[in-house]
Every structure is written in C-alpha cells, then in structure tokens.
Structure 1
Amino acid sequence: MEIKTRQHVPDEEEEQPLSPAARLFHTSEFNLNIISVIGSKSKINLDMIIRGSKESCIKHPRFSSRLVNDNRQEQKWVRTKVVAEDHVTIPKIELENASADGFLESYVSDLTTIPLDTSKPLWEVHLLDLKTSDAENVVVLKIHHSVGDGMSLMSLVHACTRKTSNHDELPSLPNENRPSSKSMAGHSRLIWMVMLVWNTLCDALKFIATTMFLKDTDTPIKGDFRLSKSKRMCLVHRTVSLEDIKLIKNAMKMTVNDVLLGVAQAALSQYLERRYGEKEKKTGEPKSKRNSSNMLQEIRLRACLLVNIRPTTGDLANMMAKGSKCKWGNWIGYMLFPFSLALHDDPLEHLRRVKSIINRKKNSLEALLTFTSTKILIKLLGVVTAASLTSRTISNTTMSFSNLVGPNEEVSLFGHPITYIAPSAYGHPHALTMHFQSYMNKMTISLTVDPTAICDPHQLCDDLEECLRSIKAAVQERSATQ
C-alpha cells in the first residue's frame, strides 16, 4: 500500500537542523511525546504492518532520520537506514486476573516511563493481540513530539489508511471554514481590526502575567509538576456520539470545538464539586449546593487550548509529500482559556459562557503570539532559558485541551479496519490533558492524567459523558418548547 503522493528525494535532505519547537520538546523540562491508541476490528497481521510501514511512513524524512548532537552541541536530523522490524514490538500478554482494558491502560502507562531510543528514528509501533471492550486488537503508536504535532500525526494516519469501502482511496476530511474579515463592510472591518489589536494586547499582558506571577488555584486536579516529572502518566479513553455533539452544535449555532469546551467545563465543575465534597465529608464540614457553587466560582482554572496556526489545513493527506502547502512539523500555538466553573440548573449556561469567551478569543492573535514568542525566546536567550520560561507559564495553568478532526468514513490501517483513534501527549507540566478525536460518527475522549493528582480518571470520563447527555437533553427540551 504505497502513498499516492509525490515522494521525497533522500539526497536533498541528508541533514537538517531541528526547528525551535523540536529543540524545546527535547529539553528536560518537556521531553514531549505523542501516544496514539488505535483499535482494530480484526486480528493484526505483522507482515502487513511491516510492509505497509516500509511503503509509507519510512519514506518520510522525519521517520527515517535520527537525532544527532554535533560537536557544537547543535541538534540535527540525520538520514539513516531504517529497519522497520526494529521499530515494531509485540509484547507478551498475560492477563491472569486483570481485564483486557486494564492491561491496555497499564501497558500504555508503562510506555510513558520508557524513553525512546535516540540511536534510531524516534517512533515505535506496539502491536497488542488483545481483545478489549471496543476492539479486536490494538495498535499503539509512540512518536516523539519533535517529529511533528497532532496535525502531522493525522496526516500520517491519512497517508497510511484507505477507505474500507474502496481500498484505493484515501480517507476524506470535513471541510474547515476559517473566519475571514474580507467579506466585511469597511466600517465593520475597521471595528474588527481595532478589537483584534485590543484583544491581542490584553491576551499578551495576561500571558506575561502568567509567566511572572498569575497562577491558577491549587485544585485537586492541578497537581505539582515538580513532584510528578519522573512519574508515570495514566491514559484512558471514552467514545461518545459525534452526532449528539453536532445536534447541540447546530441548535446552539456553535462549532464542535465550542460544544466540547462547554461539555468539559460542565464536567470539570461536577468533578471538582464531588472532590471538594469528599474533602468536606472527611473533615465533617456541612455541604450545600450553594456553598459548592460559591466555592467553584472562586476557582481560577485555565486550559492551554492548543491551536493549529498553519495558514491552510487543506492538502492534509498530502502533508507528508515534499512541497505540500500544508506544512509538516510543529505549527501550534496556544490560548489561555479560562473555564467558568459553576453548578447551573440549566446546563446550556455552560455553552453560553464558553461561546462568549471563545468568540473573543477567536478575534485575537494570541495563538500566533505564543508560537512566535517561543521562537524569539529560543533565538535570544537559548533553548534552556526558553524551556524554563515556557514550562513556568504552562505550570501556572491547570490543563491542556485539544481537538483533532479525523476521517468521515471507516478506514483501514494497512488492511486492518479501525474502530477508534485515541491520541494523547505527555511530558508537559500538566496533571490533566484532554484530547478529542473525531472519527466516522464517533468522538473519542482521551484523558492523560497524573494518577497522584487524579486517581479516578474513569469518573471524569463518566462526568464528561453524563454532561454531554444532559446538555443534549436540554437542547431537545428547548427545541420542543419552541
């Protein structure tokens, strides 16, 4: 199964220096990795995986280059001969009294404690002959974040998969329509530009304040990255209906990402209310909904909302090809998104509050600012100082949040039909990371947590699922009354 794209010419790119973001991700403050758990509908055939890897991803420079430090301590990608079999692991599985789902979570958690072998290109494939509750077998893909970001990973998935309805066709993605000011009238466009400058200035000041002194409230989910840097992370996932999310999106005139933020805000409110309630129960303090609501409203809880800043996301399936307009690598900035925690009788209030915040955020260059400022810091102060400042900024917030768009229809990975895709990342100083990945008519929620801070991630998944149901019910009830 060969990628139907223009191929790279190896001699043109034998060596290439790491990008600023890639250098940052290799520092001790981060050492950032991506893990993607992919469920298969069929038993995994090793020969098909090896052959598919040789005909696809190995032809890309980042998957056939190893990391090298030269005499001047500069990091470079150097092309090398890749033996696909050296990157594939088939673990011995002994369930004993453990469940298959529990074994998968434990196995992936163990992977977060094992660094990638820098003598080879920085990627691994783990094939698990394990029948879980939602897959016949499981593929675990581990890639160092310096190789590429989430959009790059999805381009790899697109290049390596085909529609199950037609094995000769690449999968298709929903069209992404980005807002534009070109269609605005002169007066409206002037106001839009003034607000863009003002919002960006305000966000820049908040960004600086966060780096210097502005910290989130110490809640049970914030964790302490200084204590947990060397500890394992726990990864869990839950799949919900994408159609339910689209129903809410259309009824509330929002985007899918807006709905997901609203559901996350509602779930975090519910989860934290329970955690504080358990604490009050232990101390014998009286509990009331009013006290809980007031307590939640006093919490400052912000997420680093990851944003793709590529000028275009079209041509995604061809991103692995040389000359693609959609750039490979790490082209991500982030926004500091404040969650408005509260217990509302009307769950739609969470959506309204999120929409109000995100509409202002969309009229700001905050994501581009964070991306550019990191590059400037690395150039002026060096990667070590830049990593320290970036880590300080992120650690003063509570969590990370991202959303990736996947194929519209069922696809197969080297002949294996996929049931779900659950990507995540670890290495950054957050005890909680939420990733949302759409695929067919499903949305998979992936949580990466520090178990010393969040010992019950499945409960948080339950809260996310329950809040989605309650918001959908409220939307349907509102539509019925109207």
Structure 2
Amino acid sequence: MESLGPIRVSKKDSEDGQPLSPMARFFHQPYCDVYTITIMGFNTPINPLVFKASLRHSLLKHPRFSCLPVVEKGGEMRWVKTEVNLDNHVRVPVLDPNMESPDKFVEDYASNLSKTTITKSIPLWDVHLLNVKTSEAESTVIFRIHHSLGDGISLMSLLLSCSRKASDPEALPTIPTIKRRNPSNSGGLTSWQFLLKLWWLVLLCWNTIVDVLILLGTIFFLEDTKTPLKGTLPLGLAQRRFVHRTIILDDVKLVKNAMGTTINDVMVAITQAGLSSYLNRKYGDDKTYNKGAEENNNNLPNNIRLRAALAVNIRPSAGIQISSFPNRITLWFSNVPGPEEEISYFGHPVAFIALTVYGQPNALVIHVVSYASKMKITLSVDKNIIPDPYQLCDDLQNSLDLMKNAVITNQRTDPKLYTTG
C-alpha cells in the first residue's frame, strides 16, 4: 500500500478542507486500502467522447472526485481540492473486436486492476471503457473508486444521479424504498399479549448483551475457524478474481413472500446454504475415499465459527453502511438496492450492474445488487484461497433453486403461501 505521508497545504486549504470521516480513515489503514469496483454492461458500444464529456459535467461536480486525502501535521486527514485532468482518470484501451474470448478478457482486465492502486497524487478514482462485445453486453465500463470516497449506497446514488429511465430520458431512476410495518392499532393489550411482549423485550436485551460481548471478543481475540474460505493476513495486495452470476428477482421474492421475511434475509439464507454446500464438498474431497459429497454426507467439522460482516442500513432511505473488525471474520456481505427499471447512463442503455471490492483482509466478499427484474451476485475472491469461484456461484444458485422449488411444492398444497410483491 502506498502510504499517506505529511503534505504541506496552505492555511486556506487547511481551513476549507473537510476532515475525513472515521470510516473514510478506516479505508486508509494497512490491509484495508479498499477500492470499489462497479462493472456496468451496456446494450450499445460506448462513445468515449460523450462519456468523457459527461463525466466532466457530472462526476467532477462531486467534491470528493476532485479532492486529495492529505495528512496534516498531527496526523489529521483532510480533503483538499485539486485540479483534475480527465486524461489521468479515463482509460480507453484499443481492443480487438474479434478477440477469441471477450468474456475472459473483461474478467481478466478487472482482476488485473486488483493488483494495482491509484497514486495518491491524483483523486482516487478511474474509469475503464472496454468496447468489446461479451455474452451479456455490447460494451463494458469499469469504475474503480477508493472506498474512502463513499460507501455502497452513496456511490450507487451518485451513479443513479447520472442515469435516466430507459423509457423516459428525462426521468430519474426509481430506487426501492424500505417498507416499514405499521404499528398495531388494536388498542389495549390482553394480559397474554403483554406477557409475550415482555418476554420478547427480555430476549431482545439478552441477545443485545450477548452480541456486545461477542463483538468485544472479536475485537480482542475471537477469530473464525480456519476453513477453505478463510484467508490469513496479509491479503490486502493479493490479486482478486471477480465473478458474477445473474439470478431472477421474482424467484427471490417468491421465497420472501412465502416466508414473510425480506429480500435481504433471503439472500443471507442463500449465502449460508451455498457456503455450507461448498465447504461440505471441500471437506469431503479431503477424505481419502473422496465420497462425502457424492453420498451427500455431512462432512463439516463440528463447531465451525464462520461469520460475515453484514452491511446494515442506519439511514431513513434504503441503503447500507458497513462497520466491522474485518480480519478476524471470514467474509463481507453487502446487499445494495439498484434501480427498479432499466436505465441509461450518459445515453448508453445499461444491460447489468455488478458491484464488488478489493483490498480488504478477507478472502471472500459477496455483493448483491438488484437491477430491474434481475439481481447480480458478485464474488470477490483471493484466488490463492478460493481457486474455484464459479463452483461457489453454482452453489449459491442451487441454494436459491432448492428454496424456490420447495415453495412451489408447498404452494400447490397451500396457495396462501404465495403472494405477489
């Protein structure tokens, strides 16, 4: 990681510059020099001149994209305004339109970015325009943005502010809103209802105390079990592999409605089931007779501690904010709501959106983002720890299929299990 040394700035700049937030400073710590990667596929080739001109009138209007994080005397970090030369930030490689494997090329290109960082002498972002046709899109854009510039929802909001509905070039995209349950208006409580609520409150207090103790234990000594998914420090500069899988949003909603839960709950359940299948196979393969997975035996060791840093929303609008002590856990998980309808970006119709990160001290990160009628599950893996990310994608897909088929089977006997929405 390129360290941030003291930089002399003028008194005016020092007074005008905003200090970095605690979370922004966190992403400049050793082994947490984290970059976000946003991969957008388009249904048309990219016009680099239009794209570059649009960036000047949109992205550069955001202060963080024209500022440097500087360290003043005393160690305080502030954002300081600087001049931006777009030529330092926009990359348009000359590509062979008839290349043999364009999908692999795009995947390799994104993966190679994870071996590099952006010099701290310019604002910490760049854009790569890849005019090559893949199986999913006519062209691809890769945004690389240092995580200190914003979290998932703020960067998604910035992206969407530059977008318009494909059906209406003048209208902004629609973002899913969080539906809050209405409080009960049934009047007074019966003694039985009062006892249930009191018991619920006792459980809430107890679980909160337990969670706080586990958090303190994680900070000081409690680490996850060493498994085929768990990396060890240092991981920050290891090359990552970014792979993604498309699932149908209605399939997730089918399970959500049947269970009376949320989309995020379903995605966490899919992740848990998929990881269990993956680890069961790995532990089965380690056995000398190599029959565990084929015979559907439970090969998982007892008392595995496998935890994820889950992104939770603390804002009134839909979104995420992540905070954890990340090197002691196994993975990061994030679910970001995207636009409800198809959009265009700088006049280019969008085929898909995939989000991920690199630079964190974990071998596995799972990001989920919704777009129109689909969802993208994107894995960021340390390929030295997880050499078969496509198999893990298959396990996640299979977990959703099993849940969906179970709901459909039950729905045939009890139609009330299925509702739309």
Which category describes the TM-score, using the shorter chain as reference length?
A: 0.7 to 0.9
Match of 1:247 in 2: 254
Match of 2:308 in 1: 303
Match of 2:218 in 1: 210
- The verdict on how the C-alpha distance between 1:117 and 1:473 changes in structure 2, with shifts beyond 3 A counting, is same
- The verdict on how the C-alpha distance between 1:123 and 1:464 changes in structure 2, with shifts beyond 3 A counting, is same
- The verdict on how the C-alpha distance between 1:217 and 1:151 changes in structure 2, with shifts beyond 3 A counting, is same
Match of 1:449 in 2: 381
- Please say which of residues 85-94 and 287-296 is displaced more in the overlay: 287-296
| Whole-angstrom CA distance in 2 between matches of 1:160 and 1:472 | 35
| Whole-angstrom CA distance in 2 between matches of 1:273 and 1:120 | 46
Residue from 328, 335, 352 that aligns with 1:396: 328
Match of 1:235 in 2: 242
Match of 2:283 in 1: 276
Shift of 1:204: 0.7
Shift of 1:189: 6.4
RMSD of equivalent CA atoms: 2.6
Does the residue aligned with 1:445 lie in a helix, a strand or coil? strand
Alignment of 1:313 onto 2:317 = yes
Match of 2:351 in 1: 419
Match of 2:50 in 1: 48
Asked if the contact 2:284–2:290 (Cα under 8 Å) also holds between the matched residues in 1, the reply is no
Which protein is richer in helix relative to its size?
1
Asked if the contact 2:39–2:141 (Cα under 8 Å) also holds between the matched residues in 1, the reply is yes
Residue from 460, 466, 471 that aligns with 2:403: 471
1:62-211 correspondence to structure 2 within 5 Å: 62-93=64-95, 99-178=101-180, 187=194, 193-211=201-219
Does the residue aligned with 2:362 lie in a helix, a strand or coil? coil
- Please say which of residues 44-53 and 139-148 is displaced more in the overlay: 44-53
What is the identity, as a one-letter code, of the residue corresponding to 1:307? V
| Whole-angstrom CA distance in 1 between matches of 2:135 and 2:65 | 32
Shift of 1:299: 2.1
Does the residue aligned with 2:84 lie in a helix, a strand or coil? coil
Does the residue aligned with 1:142 lie in a helix, a strand or coil? strand
Asked if the contact 1:237–1:445 (Cα under 8 Å) also holds between the matched residues in 2, the reply is yes
| Whole-angstrom CA distance in 2 between matches of 1:16 and 1:175 | 30
Question: When the two structures are aligned, how many residues end up with a matched partner?
Answer: 396
What is the identity, as a one-letter code, of the residue corresponding to 1:166? D
Alignment of 1:408 onto 2:408 = no
Shift of 1:203: 0.5
What is the identity, as a one-letter code, of the residue corresponding to 2:134? T
Percent identity over the alignment? 43
Unmatched segments (≥5 aa) in structure 1? 1-10, 317-330, 335-369, 371-389
| Whole-angstrom CA distance in 2 between matches of 1:14 and 1:114 | 31
| Whole-angstrom CA distance in 2 between matches of 1:289 and 1:90 | 47
Asked if the contact 1:67–1:119 (Cα under 8 Å) also holds between the matched residues in 2, the reply is no
| Whole-angstrom CA distance in 2 between matches of 1:254 and 1:128 | 40
Asked if the contact 1:50–1:85 (Cα under 8 Å) also holds between the matched residues in 2, the reply is no
- The verdict on how the C-alpha distance between 1:68 and 1:213 changes in structure 2, with shifts beyond 3 A counting, is closer
| Whole-angstrom CA distance in 2 between matches of 1:291 and 1:46 | 52
| Whole-angstrom CA distance in 2 between matches of 1:100 and 1:57 | 28
- The verdict on how the C-alpha distance between 1:309 and 1:176 changes in structure 2, with shifts beyond 3 A counting, is same
- The verdict on how the C-alpha distance between 1:285 and 1:117 changes in structure 2, with shifts beyond 3 A counting, is closer
| Whole-angstrom CA distance in 1 between matches of 2:85 and 2:308 | 40
| Whole-angstrom CA distance in 1 between matches of 2:39 and 2:86 | 19
What is the identity, as a one-letter code, of the residue corresponding to 2:55? S
| Deviations 1:190-244, CA, capped at 9 Å, x for gaps | 6655444332221010011122332222111112233x33321111111110011
- The verdict on how the C-alpha distance between 1:313 and 1:222 changes in structure 2, with shifts beyond 3 A counting, is same
- The verdict on how the C-alpha distance between 1:178 and 1:65 changes in structure 2, with shifts beyond 3 A counting, is farther
Asked if the contact 1:181–1:189 (Cα under 8 Å) also holds between the matched residues in 2, the reply is no
Query: TM-score, normalising length from structure 1?
Result: 0.77
Shift of 1:454: 0.6
Residue from 10, 31, 44 that aligns with 1:29: 31
Match of 1:332 in 2: 321
Does the residue aligned with 1:446 lie in a helix, a strand or coil? strand
Shift of 1:21: 1.2
| Whole-angstrom CA distance in 2 between matches of 1:252 and 1:214 | 33
Match of 1:435 in 2: 367
| Whole-angstrom CA distance in 2 between matches of 1:151 and 1:94 | 35
What is the identity, as a one-letter code, of the residue corresponding to 1:214? L
Asked if the contact 2:284–2:299 (Cα under 8 Å) also holds between the matched residues in 1, the reply is no
What is the identity, as a one-letter code, of the residue corresponding to 2:276? S
Shift of 1:332: 2.1
| Whole-angstrom CA distance in 2 between matches of 1:401 and 1:308 | 13
Does the residue aligned with 1:293 lie in a helix, a strand or coil? coil
Unmatched segments (≥5 aa) in structure 2? 1-12, 415-421
- Please say which of residues 206-215 and 31-40 is displaced more in the overlay: 206-215
Shift of 1:105: 1.3
What is the identity, as a one-letter code, of the residue corresponding to 1:473? N
Shift of 1:396: 2.1
| Whole-angstrom CA distance in 2 between matches of 1:130 and 1:447 | 22
| Whole-angstrom CA distance in 1 between matches of 2:103 and 2:302 | 36
Does the residue aligned with 1:141 lie in a helix, a strand or coil? strand
| Deviations 1:384-415, CA, capped at 9 Å, x for gaps | xxxxxx3xxx2221111110100010001100
Asked if the contact 2:309–2:322 (Cα under 8 Å) also holds between the matched residues in 1, the reply is no
| Whole-angstrom CA distance in 2 between matches of 1:242 and 1:300 | 30
Shift of 1:54: 1.5
Match of 1:258 in 2: 265
Query: TM-score, normalising length from structure 2?
Result: 0.87
Does the residue aligned with 1:172 lie in a helix, a strand or coil? coil
Asked if the contact 2:164–2:170 (Cα under 8 Å) also holds between the matched residues in 1, the reply is yes
